Amino acid sequence: MGFCKFSMFSFLCLVIVLFGVHGEENAHVLLMNDRASLLSFMKGVVSDPGGVFENWKNSSDFHICNWSGVKCNSASERVTELILNATFLRGTISPALANLSSLTVLDLSGNFFHGHIPKELGSLSHLRQLSLSWNLLEGKIPYELGFLQNIIYLDLGSNRLDGEIPESIFCNGSFSLEYIDLSNNSLSSQIPLNNECVLTKLRFLLLWSNKIVGRVPRALSNSTHLEWLDLASNMLSGELPSEIVGEMPRLQILALSYNDFVSHDGNTNLEPFFSSLANSSDLQELELAGNNLGGELPYIIGDLSTNLVQLHLDENLIYGSIPPHISNLVNLNLLNLSSNLINGSIPQKLCRMGMLERVYLSNNSLSGEIPSALGDILHLGLLDLSRNNLSGSIPDSFANLPQLRRLLLYGNQLSGTIPPSLGKCVNLEILDLSHNKISGVIPSEVAGLRSLKLYLNLSSNHLYGHLPLELSKMDMVLAIDLSSNNVSGTIPPQLKSCIALENLNLSHNSLEGTLPFSVGQLPYLRELDLSSNQLIGEIPQSLQVSPTLKHLNLSFNKFSGNVSNKGAFASITMDSFLGNYGLCGSIKGMPKCRKRHSHHLLILSILLSLFATATPIFCIFGYRLVLRSKIRRRQLAVFNGGEDLKDEEQDQRKELNYPRVSYRQLLEATGGFSASSLIGSGQFGHVYKGVLQDNTRIAVKVLDAKSSAGEISRSFKRECQVLKRTRHRNLIRIITICSRPEFKALVLPLMANGSLERHLYPSHGLRNGLDLVQLVSICSDVAEGVAYLHHHSPVKVIHCDLKPSNILLDDDMTALVTDFGISRLVKGSDNQSVSAMDTMTFSSKEGLLCGSVGYIAPEYGLGKRASTEGDVYSFGVLLLEIVTGRRPTDLLIHEASSLHELVKSHYPYKLEPIVEEALDRCSPSAMPTHYSKIWRDVILEMIELGLMCTQYSPSTRPSMLDVAHEMGRLKEYLSNPPSVQLVEEATSKVKASN
């Protein structure tokens, strides 16, 4: 009996031991399986520009939990999270990821994965978060994804997915989903939700910009926790879903714009829908634009949540008057009722909505006077009342609007005079009062509005009197249109001060006298219309030699004299000169002049010759300056006996006080400065990547010993001085230097995301991986960094070579300005250089100018010394380059001489192709209409800012502080509009509950 007891005990011990051994072996097998799955996934990635997989490839052990993007369970060491979002990976998603059986989070969003979504992912039974948005994935959504019983967060938005939405996504039996984003794809069919599928926990449903048809399913009313419902830009139909949204008291964003919805009672009654939102006390944004909704705006619209900040009802068939009760929405900052059939007057009570920033009431049938109370809305920045039947005078109270930037009142029946008080709107950029019945003279206060940056349009009114001389103060305006009035007198020669002017239209007036020679000297004038006036005399030769003039109309005046078909007139036809019976010349259809030796032709020939040779003269002038500078440097070097060069290394080490890194260490770190380590080249040397013994990843900028020793020394010393004296989050920091007589190098931190240039112009035909939000953020960072150099640095610094290759991006895509090799350290307000030898540097091999070709300010070509305005010009070129997607050196001769000229030729009425291309390039797929409006606004403002920064005259360019402020505003607006900010907060909450 005792023996039996002993034997049984021994047997149980043996079983326990065997199970323990088997358990350890099984755990090891599972870990090996996880490792194999990750390695298989890595093989499907064909491009890893950020070096994400470096420690995957170099790992010699099985500690996969230390790999980038991988998180494990602390006890079992099984992989639980794989997060590789926004790492610019390119390739396909391997089905092997389905073998990570303990995975709870899979986030591959913001990359360039293509191909299909592996159906095998549906077997990840523990998965709670799946994020594959903002990729290039195509095909259908696998039905198997509906088998994810524990999924809480599903984001497949912004891909190229098509076909039907699998019913299993909405009806998977678990009802655990809180966040569904399938937006910005090409999904069709209806929303597959029925009464058997109750998504009681659903808080976010984003299906915008697809091809979804049918009605909003009634079963959605069971999702009473919904906070964001975005079905905009689809093909949904039927009545507005009043009964459904009425069951969603937590709604914050409701977007139904650009569908085929109608209102109740045969598209005549909006009241039931607005009544259904009465209990949505958290509602912040309501979008119903572009649905052809009929009916009047009900009184109860004012009973919506006082948290409402945006109301989009534009492009519908809404009629009747605007209910004064709408003024109860006291926190509204955007009201858009444009393009409807609204009549009646503008309610006085709108002034109670003190937070309004943008008001669109255009293209309606509003009548009566413009309420002076609108002048009490102090935050108002845009007011568009155009194309209505408004009458009366323009209120003086608009002068009280300190933020007013755009005032559009054209296409009404306004009378009276232009209030001089509008001259107090110091931030006004656009003023359009055209096509009204306004009379009187043009007030000098308004004519002198220097803030106007875009256009002044007073055409088609009853204005009279002389052109005010104050118009010459508008040195930033791009277009002036005073046509179809009764303006008389002469054209003032002082208009030549409007140096940014591209379009001048003074046609159909009573102007007389001669056309000033100075008008043809406007440096950017492209269109000039002076037709139907009483102008006399000869046509100024300055128009013919204008390098920019493309469209000219001088018809029906009293011009006389000879007209040649040379220069700018080579492409202009007889239609530009009709009704001027005193003209003769070589234009086809124009009477021939009598044969006589005309000194005018000789003068014209000389002028054209001088113009054609202007550029070589500037180059010769610049070259002579270079020679003079070189001679001066040599004299100084001889005089100083070479002491500056002799003490340089000691001075640098003493001043910088950074850790020592030997030449041998740099050799080891970069593999002997091998070609495989080379990541960039510049005028003064090469840049190599490397890893120090302490695993610090570095970039080594080695100055080329083959170049002039003096230039190397000065460049090295200059860059060290700048990096030593400046400290800013958007400027590259220095780790240390290595300086020997025959070798000089700067050791900098390696930026994993490389330069901005690499992202703007990726190799092998790959598309730009940066979206508009990232690009604006990068430009804002650059502007902040350069503004610091210009205005806040202990010693003012002029960079002199701002361009995409000199902008680096760190791990979180923060931009850092680098390469100060030709920068200038200046003192005082007059940009006086610290060193006499540093007054100017000509460094472009092609142009012998300060900077790189395409980014060089035009005044540098005239021998002007480097200035902060030159950096502003380069930044402006950068903005235009980002918007157009073209290098400034890639323009064809027949297109334009610069990016500035190219964009200006389209501004302001022909920008649509540029904007569309920018939208396509800066987003993986087309944006939905209501979202793309925000992006379009930002792109247009980037264009405007770029044009301002690249104006010909340095004095008219904004300061870098102003530029940084504008870019910061765009960054905040684009990154955090109320709706976007809300979804980010909500997404964080959903993920936190995961």
Check: CB of residue 198 under 8 Å from CB of residue 172.
no
**Tokens 């619209």 belong to which residue?**
301
Kind plus residue range of the DSSP H or E element containing 341: strand 341-344
Q: What angle do CA 61, 63, 67 make, to 5 degrees?
A: 110
Question: DSSP code of 169?
Answer: H
Q: By mean pLDDT, which of 47-51, 398-402, 848-852 is the weakest?
A: 848-852
pLDDT at 450: 82
User: Is 830 part of the annotated catalytic residue set?
Assistant: no
Distance, CA of 239 to CA of 487 (rounded, Å): 54
The residue-averaged pLDDT of 717-741 equals: 73
The residue-averaged pLDDT of 633-644 equals: 34
Q: By mean pLDDT, which of 250-259, 795-804, 906-915 is the weakest?
A: 906-915
Binned at pLDDT 50, 70 and 90, residue 910 comes out as confident
Check: CB of residue 770 under 8 Å from CB of residue 50.
no
Residue 92: strand pairing partners: 114
Binned at pLDDT 50, 70 and 90, residue 312 comes out as very high
**In angstroms, what CA-CA distances link 687 with 41, 58, 664?**
32, 24, 17
pLDDT at 606: 40
More confident residue, 16 or 115: 115
Distance, CA of 113 to CA of 934 (rounded, Å): 27
**In the predicted structure, residue 569 carries a pLDDT above the cut 80:** yes
Torsion of CA 222, 223, 225, 228, to 10 degrees: -140
Binned at pLDDT 50, 70 and 90, residue 611 comes out as very low
**In the predicted structure, residue 271 carries a pLDDT above the cut 70:** yes
Backbone angles phi, psi at 43, to 5 degrees: -65, -25
**In the predicted structure, residue 629 carries a pLDDT above the cut 50:** no
Tokens of 754: 């490389």
Tell me the per-residue pLDDT of 108-146, one tens digit each, with 9 for 90 and over: 998 889 999 999 999 999 999 999 998 999 999 999 999
Q: By mean pLDDT, which of 114-123, 191-200, 386-395, 700-709 is the weakest?
A: 700-709
The one catalytic residue in 34, 314, 781, 801 is: 801
Binned at pLDDT 50, 70 and 90, residue 834 comes out as very low
Distance, CA of 163 to CA of 139 (rounded, Å): 7
For the packed helices 960-975 and 868-884, what is the interaxial angle rounded to 10 degrees?
30
Residue 736: strand pairing partners: 747
Tell me what the pLDDT averaged over the chain comes to: 82
124: which residues sit within 8 A by CB, 6+ positions away? Answer: 97, 98, 100, 101, 103, 106, 148
Q: By mean pLDDT, which of 362-371, 651-660, 882-891 is the weakest?
A: 651-660
For the packed helices 648-656 and 709-725, what is the interaxial angle rounded to 10 degrees?
20
Dump the DSSP string for 597-645.
--HHHHHHHHHHHHHHTHHHHHHHHHHHHHHHHHHHHHHHHHHHTTHHH
Q: Which of 648-657, 699-708, 754-763 has the highest mean pLDDT?
A: 754-763
The distance from CA 822 to its chain's CA centroid, rounded to whole angstroms, is: 28
Binned at pLDDT 50, 70 and 90, residue 161 comes out as very high
Distance, CA of 409 to CA of 697 (rounded, Å): 59
Domains along the sequence of the chain with CATH: 16-224 (3.80.10.10), 357-489 (3.80.10.10), 493-593 (3.80.10.10), 647-750 (3.30.200.20), 754-994 (1.10.510.10)
**In angstroms, what CA-CA distances link 418 with 264, 378, 399, 698?**
45, 21, 12, 63
793: which residues sit within 8 A by CB, 6+ positions away? Answer: 725, 726, 728
Residue 615: Cβ within 10 Å count: 12
Tokens of 631: 């001679």
The distance from CA 814 to its chain's CA centroid, rounded to whole angstroms, is: 15
Kind plus residue range of the DSSP H or E element containing 671: none
More confident residue, 347 or 663: 347
Tell me the per-residue pLDDT of 81-108, one tens digit each, with 9 for 90 and over: 999 988 888 999 999 999 999 999 999 9
Distance, CA of 107 to CA of 86 (rounded, Å): 9
pLDDT at 922: 78
Check: CB of residue 260 under 8 Å from CB of residue 932.
no
**How would you label 190-217 residue by residue, b for 16+ Cβ within 10 Å and e otherwise?**
ebbbeeebebebbbbbbbbbbebeeebb
Tokens of 670: 């970069």
Distance, CA of 962 to CA of 427 (rounded, Å): 13
Tokens of 369: 């006077």
pLDDT at 828: 47
pLDDT at 854: 85
The residue-averaged pLDDT of 35-46 equals: 92
pLDDT at 898: 81
Tokens of 224: 């009473």
**In angstroms, what CA-CA distances link 974 with 442, 722, 771, 807?**
38, 33, 11, 22
138: which residues sit within 8 A by CB, 6+ positions away? Answer: 114, 115, 116, 159, 160, 161, 162
Tell me the per-residue pLDDT of 502-557, one tens digit each, with 9 for 90 and over: 899 999 999 999 999 999 999 889 999 999 999 999 999 999 999 889 999 999 99
pLDDT at 837: 30
Distance, CA of 193 to CA of 171 (rounded, Å): 7
